A and B are shown apart, each in its own frame.
Chain A
Amino acid sequence: MITKVLATFAVVITGALLLYGVSDFPAFGDPHSPANAGVEGGAPSISNYYITKSYEDTKVPNLVTSVLADYRGYDTMFETVVIFAAGMAIFAILRVFSDEDDIEPNETHSEGNTFTDGDHSRIIVGTTVRLVVPVIQLFALYVVAHGHHSPGGGFQGGVILGASFIIIALAMDLDAALARFSEKSYFRLASVGILIYAGFGVLCQVLGSDFLDYGILQKIFLTDGPEMARSHSMLGVEVGVAFTVTGIMFAIYANLSSRGTLKSAL
């Protein structure tokens, strides 16, 4: 009880101080706030540079994608590595391999859980999922591939693609999902994703430019100028990001829902 009183006290004090500081902030929606337009007399705003110059530099109309995959490509690469490392950490923490040593054999092994076994309660859900999953996956591929022209990109498309396998696991069972996307393949996919991203960086170095400086790749893509090479490379690294995110999202679900056994989930 005393903890809660002290916590409330600390939270109220902190909140009051933060709200006191709010009065110095720019108003909501102010286009000339320091975050949007830079400080007066200071350095020019990087955001405005992105808005005005990004299309000239990269020929990518979606500014979020061009900033994500090109200007801040190094940052994004390691964000992807963080996701990969999270997947590895979950594997290391939870995964158990032996059947006998399973500490809590709580459920009978996938009895009547598969769609084909004729569990009537699952027929409607299972059939719906069968019909919907291809559409979800097609949409995911669209989101990845069209990420530089419309809202989307590797992270979003990868999450949708990973969710399409999670929905299979939810509606049928984990075995049905693992039959389509096994442990071997999702970790392989995740590693390949990182490899693609880093490979683009190394390729730029090999051709004599800086790490992840895609402009030099015009020698490979045979484009007219470095701008289109940047655009194509962005699609490439987005595909790498999508691979990693797809694999790790499903890995997280598969390990958490089955307590690391990858059997008889939920």
Chain B
Amino acid sequence: MAEFFQTTIHDYFNYWVYVILMMIGLWAVIAKNNLIKKLIGLSIFQTAIILFYVSIGVKDGASIPILHHHDPAAHAVSHEESHHKEGHKGDDSAAHKEPGDDKGDNAEAHAVNPDLIANPLPHVLMLTAIVVGVATLGVALALSQRIFKEFGTLEESELLEQLKGGNVDG
């Protein structure tokens, strides 16, 4: 049981959360009769996608995707290596590219280790998606306001009834 928990829930926890959240949103979009409630469902659905994207960029033990300003490789080097580098510390960051390090290939010694920095790409994609999501939600709310103005209701069944009866004004 504990092993089952470890392999199915613990390691895949983020996917469980995203699937459950997404299904809550999907259910609201399908089953709810009120347009505003459908919009809430749509927003929950969107949040689930955002959560999914951000969670796949997570790396265990990694730092945020912002490098050290003067020494980009500072995250990536082990403790003694960073101690070894203290001598260079006063130099401009360009100095790190110059050869002369006794470690051989200097570019490699100062390269950022990707395993220690979280994946920036999902963050970028979701950053714009969140703001665009707010803007498009605004459009959706504007449309619902307009529908309410025209029909006096936001219930889907009543709207369909009115449309069937040809009771469309304006």
Interface residues of B in 86-142 (CB under 8 A from A): 111-112, 114-115, 117, 119-124, 127-128, 130-132, 134-136, 138-139, 141-142
One of B27, B135, B142 near A94 (C-beta < 8 A)? B142
Chain A residues contacting B142 (CB-CB under 8 Å) are 89-90, 93-94, 252, 255-256
Q: Check A28 for interface membership: any CB of B closer than 8 A.
A: yes
Q: Chain B interface: which of A46-54, A115-123, A126-134, A168-176?
A: A46-54
Q: Which residues of B contact A61 (CB under 8 A)?
A: 66-69, 72
Q: Which of B1-44 contact A (CB under 8 A)?
A: 8, 11-16, 19-20, 22-23, 26-27, 30-31
Complex interface: chain B residues within 8 A of A155 (CB)? 127-128, 130-131
Chain B residues with CB below 8 A from A82, complex form:
132, 135-136
Contact indicator B112/A245 (Cβ below 8 Å): no
Choose among A46, A83, A159 the residue with the greatest number of B CB atoms under 10 Å from its CB: A83
Cβ B66 vs Cβ A28 within 8 A: no
B66 A62 Cβ-Cβ under 8 A: yes
Which residues from B are CB-within-8-Å of A50?
120-121
- CB pair B127–A64 under 8 Å, yes or no, is yes
Does B146 sit within 8 A of A, measured CB to CB?
Answer: yes
In the complex the two chains form, what is the Cα distance from A46 to B125 in whole Å?
14
List the A residue with the shortest CB-CB distance to B143: A93
Determine the chain B residues whose CB is within 8 A of the CB of A22 once the complex forms: 12, 15-16, 19
* CB contact under 8 A between A35 and B23, given known A3-B30, A62-B65, A64-B120: no
In this complex, what residue of B is CB-closest to A256?
A: B141
Contact B120 A256 (CB under 8 A): no
Instruction: State which residues 135-156 of B face A: CB under 8 Å.
Output: 135-136, 138-139, 141-143, 145-146, 149
Given A151-B66, A256-B145, A51 contacting B117 (CB threshold 8 A): yes
A79 near B132: Cβ-Cβ < 8 Å? yes
Q: Which residues of B lie under 8 Å from residue A4 when comparing CB positions?
A: 31
Q: Are B121 and A46 in contact (CB under 8 A)?
A: yes
Does the CB pair B139–A89 fall under 8 Å?
Answer: yes
Residue B56 CB within 8 A of the other chain: yes
User: What 9 pairs across the A-B complex have the smallest Cβ distances?
Assistant: A86-B135, A7-B31, A252-B138, A27-B11, A31-B59, A29-B60, A7-B30, A63-B120, A63-B65
Residues of A within 8 A of B (CB): 3-4, 6-8, 10-12, 14-15, 18-19, 22-23, 25-33, 35-37, 45-48, 50-52, 55, 61-64, 67-68, 72, 75-76, 79, 82-83, 86-87, 89-90, 93-94, 103-104, 149-151, 153, 155-156, 158-159, 245, 248-249, 252, 255-256, 259-260
B residues adjacent to A (C-beta < 8 A): 8, 11-16, 19-20, 22-23, 26-27, 30-31, 55-62, 64-69, 72, 111-112, 114-115, 117, 119-124, 127-128, 130-132, 134-136, 138-139, 141-143, 145-146, 149
> Would you give 15 A-B contacts (Cβ < 8 Å), ordered by A?
A18-B22, A25-B12, A31-B62, A36-B59, A45-B114, A61-B68, A63-B65, A63-B117, A64-B65, A64-B123, A90-B139, A151-B66, A156-B127, A248-B135, A259-B149
Q: Identify 13 new A-B residue pairs, CB closer than 8 A, beyond the known A26-B56, A86-B132.
A: A4-B31, A19-B15, A22-B12, A28-B12, A36-B59, A51-B120, A61-B67, A62-B65, A64-B120, A67-B124, A79-B128, A149-B69, A252-B142
